[in-house]
Every structure is written in C-alpha cells, then in structure tokens.
Amino acid sequence: MFYWYFYLFYSSAIYHDTKVPYDVYLEWDMIWPITAKDVVAKVSGLEMLNPVDKMKLTQHNFPAIQIFIQAVVMENRQDFKGTNMCETIQNSLLQCPPTENNEEDVKRLHYVLQTLNVGMKMPTNALKYEQLFASPWASCSTLEERHAHIIPTLAAWPIDFNDPGKPIDKALLFLMYNIIMLSTDGIALSDESTVRKLQVSHFNMLYRYLKHKYKTNVDDHFKEGMQIAKLGREAHIIRAHRLPV
C-alpha cells in the first residue's frame, strides 16, 4: 500500500481543506488495484487454492477491502495510532532507495513529507470525507446519504474502545481484512468448501479475540463485523455510479 499512502499525503498537502478534483479522485482510487497481489499474499491459506479461484476472490472482494480501509484511515485520521503510517512510509524509503523505476515517486514523497513536516504521527491536514465526496456527487441524495452512513459505520468498527484514546485495534483490522478477502458470497469457486472453512476459522478467531479483550457487547460487535463485507460492497456499488464532478 506504499503508493496509496504516498498519494494520501500528496493529496492532503495539495488540496488542504478544499474539494479534491474528480480526476485526482480517480487517480487516488485507481492506486488500490496495484496492491491487490499483496492482499492475496497476506491471507493465510490462500496459497493452497488454484490461480483461477484466487483471481476470482481478489476481483470480487478487493473493492470491499478498499472501501473498508479507506474509511478507517479517512475517518480516524487523528486517532490512527495503531498503524504508524508515517513510520511505515519512512521505513519503506530507507529499505527502498531510489531506482530508475521509482526515483520520481520517492523524490515526490520526500518533498511531501518535508512540506507537511511529518514526524511519527498522522498529519492534522489529512483528507476529509467532504473533500472527496462533496455534494452533489451521486445521481441522487438518497445514495449520498446512504454512503455517508456506511463510511463512518465501517470506520468505527475496529476502534479499540478499551483505550481512552480510541486508537485502531490492529488485530481487528487484520482479522476483518482476511474475512472480507475470504468471502464467497456471489461468486462460484471450484474449491468453495476450502475457502468457506478458512473464513469460518477467521470468524472463530475474531469471536475468541473479542471475548478475550472486550468481554462486553461481544455478540453485537461480532454481528456488526459480519456485515462489514456487505457494507463495503454496497458503498463500492454506489461509488461506481459517481457523477464526473
């Protein structure tokens, strides 16, 4: 997700507190498919599936993952302590010195980090929801209202409410990342039973983790988690019909 992080910072610097142009939004949104292979590689158990099933899972579920992660980052920009995004980027720069293929990207990222005076915390001028989805952006107000309801719902789910600072619970984020990727709803796979077993295994891990850490409201939080993939896909469908504004 290196390039998406880079573009997040770059756009934050250039369009501080102003509406992000439609063409910039498209470029920002199109960066995500670059990370699709990384998503598949990080899901435990998928290595045993055939290439066709892997491709189907990626194409079907990656948009929901994209919406979920974007929502979490965008809505929790001030309390996004758990991910150390700036540290991740800085470490990537150290581990990946400029080459002929990425020299311009790395130079631009250096410039953005310097411009924002980014230390080890999220900059306060991160992109806001209203900058990317300034009304009117959908074909009707009903779709805009539904989308505006879904995004904070997705963003709130992985928050650690045991911590007064309410950071993101990285374990919840990781487990949901895997659960969404293993969703078989709406697609036909040659080895569907294996994928379903993997997803059930991750749901069991999620429930045990919730019981261990949060103890109260576990069933409600678990039920809400089971709806994340569905909500992510719904938001993706709404965005697919976005007006070119």
pLDDT tens per residue across span 137-173: 998 999 999 999 999 999 999 988 777 677 888 889 8
Measured CA to CA in angstroms, residue 28 lies from 113, 222, 226, 244 at distances of 18, 31, 28, 14
Least confident of 75-79, 135-139, 170-174, 231-235: 75-79
Q: What's the mean pLDDT when you consider all of the chain?
A: 76
Continuous H helices in the chain = 2-14, 22-30, 36-42, 51-75, 85-95, 103-116, 129-132, 141-156, 170-181, 192-213, 218-225, 228-240
| 40, 151 Cβ separation under 8 angstroms | no
Q: What is the mean pLDDT of residues 101-124?
A: 55
Q: Does the pLDDT value for residue 97 go beyond 60?
A: no
Sequence spans of domains, the chain: 2-240
The one-character DSSP state at 35 is: G
pLDDT bracket for residue 19 (50, 70, 90)? confident
Topology (CATH) of 2-240: Retinoid X Receptor (1.10.565)
> What pLDDT is attached to residue 36?
56
Asked whether the bond before 63 is cis by omega within 30 degrees of 0, the reply is no
